[in-house]
Amino acid sequence: MIKEYKLNDEPISIESDLAGEYPLYIYLSRKKDCLLYSKSSKLLLESVKVIKPLTVSKKGISFLLQSAVVPPPQTVYENIFIVGIGQTARIGTVNSKIDIEFSEIHPFLNANRELDAEVDEEYILEILAEATVSRMEKNRENYLFHSAGKDSNSIALALSVAGYQNEITSVSYKGEGEKDESEIAKKIAKQFGFKHKIVYEPKVLAKKDIENINSFFENSSFPCMDNATLAYPLYMNQLDFSNSNIIDGMGNDVYIGHIPDSKEYAKQKNFSRFHHLRPFSGKFSSASRIGIATTTRTEWVGLSGLSYGDVNKILNDSFDVYDYWSEVDRENKNMDYLDLRSYIRGRVLDQEVFIRKVRNFADVTSSNLILPWTNPKVAAYFSKLPEKYLFNRKHLKNKLLLRTMLKDRIGLDSDKLGKKAYGFNAYGILMMMKKEVDQEILSCKLWNEKEVEELLSTLYKKIDVNHQSISRLKSIIQRLYLISVWYNQSKYV
């Protein structure tokens, strides 16, 4: 459904639900005489009242290059906005033009937890199942993205207890070596009585794979800088997700405790004091470690990318994101780092990078995305629980309650298993289609042609000699590609 605010209507306020299950998307015409908003980005962008092609924001592109994300309410488009977690848009008419005033407050500060709240595991399983089943649309296949992790297995457990095992197909990604979680997930799925399917990283790209990649970006509402973005169009050639219910376990860190690893926690304390040198260090190349050492405290939550020096070369009218993030630092200088991590990583990075790739996938496949952990009832319950049930500050250990529940009920020992990152080899996929990758980047009208060609050549050379920042350099090539292919292929721009 799309709603409209007309000139001289009574002022209104709109806001997202508690945990971002359904962010609100706003379109404001260039003349500021038409405003539309919807829970569906696809529905909004495809409206005949939305004038296309949309105008891409150079500031938004600058954020994607340097930080991997455009912080809401701003987006990569000049006239499209997102109202996310904790944000409110007040809409009215001022001087015969529609005006939007945005404000925000973080709803998940740890100090606001209720010290006397108690854990009820049966209730947790009940509301998780309800949050899933209530969103399942009839006459669709139900696919659960299933790993060895705590989030998807809690959902799987809840659905099993609720008696839905015959209606769920568990889908797992088969990674390489120790990164492979598919066998663990398969065993658990069998234990629950779910059907199980495996998707994998192809050894060779077929013509159909590249067609799916182009189609994916043609139909994606927003560009997404997640390292696993390319995995999703590759799945489309292995399993038919069209018109399905897709269940995903992301979205709870923002309220359940957004815990860093020990290295990140130490760096945000020890290195943040040097960020005032950024105007100097930012002039260096993206491979320089000097730039990393001058990261703001806010950026340590996972915001990184090209140096402003490189961005300024390849993009006309570029924007230095340091000004924005240093201001966020000043405004939140006394905020506990776990709260800051929830405020920035949970509300911004998780929503607009990690979850965004799945939202795009659902749009492309005309599927119904279900994010049980973002359900308001689930979020409200966990956000009230005391820290002692959820995380340990001293040992930086997260999701204590889920660890215990899964170990006791299905024998999944998350402590023994350890943290398993999603092992998708994005750079390997890029190199399988290097000709297409280079063509997309070098032909993209966003970039200064000579400068981006020189940058790309430099990156490849440093990677070939196994530069000390090789992982970072590979991710930069991927980022250039993800922005370029989206800009080149998108039907919205």
Indicate whether 178 pLDDT > 80: no
For the chain, the domain total comes to 2
Q: Is residue 6 part of a domain?
A: yes
Query: Taking residues 163-190, what's their average pLDDT?
Result: 89
pLDDT value, residue 176 = 75
- Quick one: average pLDDT of 218-240? 96
Does residue 99 sit in the same domain as residue 121? no
Ranges 71-75, 225-229, 293-297, 445-449: which has the least confidence? 293-297
- Of 389, 423, 457, at which residue does a domain stop? 423
Residues 51 and 191 in one domain: no
State the pLDDT confidence band at 286, using cuts at 50, 70 and 90: confident
CATH number at residue 366: 3.40.50
Q: Which of 159, 105, 113 is nearest to 381 (CA)?
A: 113
pLDDT at residue number 277: 81
Shared domain check, 320 and 278: yes
- Is there a single domain that holds both residue 242 and residue 294? yes
The CATH number of the domain where 41 resides is what?
3.60.20.10
CB 155 within 8 A of CB 249: yes
Q: Domain range for residue 181?
A: 108-202+237-423
Residue 460, domain member (yes or no) = no
Are 185 and 45 members of one domain? no
359-362's contacts with Cβ under 8 Å and 24+ in sequence apart are 359/41, 359/221, 360/216, 360/220, 360/221, 360/222, 360/224, 360/229, 360/232, 361/216, 361/232, 361/235, 361/241, 361/246, 362/246
Q: Which long-range contacts (CB under 8 A, 24 or more apart) does 88-93 make?
A: 88/13, 88/14, 88/15, 89/13, 89/14, 89/15, 89/24, 89/26, 90/11, 90/12, 90/13, 91/5, 91/11, 91/12, 91/13, 91/14, 91/35, 92/11, 92/12, 93/7, 93/8, 93/9, 93/11
Asked if residue 50 is part of any domain, the answer here is yes
| Boundary (domain end) residue, out of 75, 105, 135 | 105
Domain identity same for 21 and 170: no
Distance of CA 52 to the CA centre of its chain: 25
User: What's the whole-number mean pLDDT along residues 331-352?
Assistant: 97
Say if 492 falls within a structural domain.
no
Q: Are residues 419 and 297 in the same domain?
A: yes
pLDDT at 160: 97
- Choose the final residue of a domain: 404, 423, 442: 423
The answer to whether residues 282 and 404 belong to one domain is: yes
Q: Are residues 30 and 151 in the same domain?
A: no
Same domain, 362 and 388: yes
- Structure tokens, 8: 């001289």
Query: What pLDDT score was predicted for residue 422?
Result: 64
Q: Looking at the domain assignment, is residue 224 inside a domain?
A: no
pLDDT at 199 over 90: yes
% of the chain beyond a pLDDT of 90:
89
Residue 69: φ, ψ to 5°: -155, 145
448 found inside a domain: no
pLDDT band at 276 (very low <50, low <70, confident <90, very high): confident
Looking at the structure, tell me whether residues 192 and 44 fall in a common domain: no
Does 217 map to a domain?
Answer: no
| 99 Cβ contact partners less than 8 Å away, ≥ 6 residues apart | 32, 91, 92, 93
Query: Are both 141 and 173 inside the same structural domain?
Result: yes
**What's the mean per-residue pLDDT of the chain?**
95
Does the residue 477 lie in any domain? no
Query: Which of the four pLDDT bands, split at 50, 70 and 90, describes residue 269?
Result: confident
